[in-house]
Amino acid sequence: MAKWHALAKKGKDHDTWHGMRFFEQWADPRIITELRHAFAHYDERDIWRSLFVSLGLFRLVAEETATRSGLLYPGNAHDQVTRFIERLHSKREPF
């Protein structure tokens, strides 16, 4: 999605260098910043935290990409998935 976002923002000829190899040089700085928070430590709380960060980051990037590409982002589907994950999170066993 980050690659599509860069292409939607900067044009289809924008160089996204060797796949993800030079990601920090072509990706939106907001993605780079948030992606640092999207990885979890080996800890249940942090895994849930990183999942919610990833959901938010994906939505931000996907909505902007869709808008710039003249497409509709399926926000209702995203909301349903988010609510489902929130329900799973609320019903989990205590640590």
Q: Looking at the whole model, is its pTM more than 0.85?
A: no
User: Tokens in use for 52?
Assistant: 């919610």
pLDDT number for residue 19: 63
pLDDT by residue (tens digit) across 2-61? Answer: 888 988 988 887 777 776 678 888 889 999 899 888 889 889 999 999 999 999 999 999
The predicted model gives 62-81 an average pLDDT of: 96
Question: Which bin fits 70, alpha (ψ -120 to 50), beta or left (φ > 0)?
Answer: left
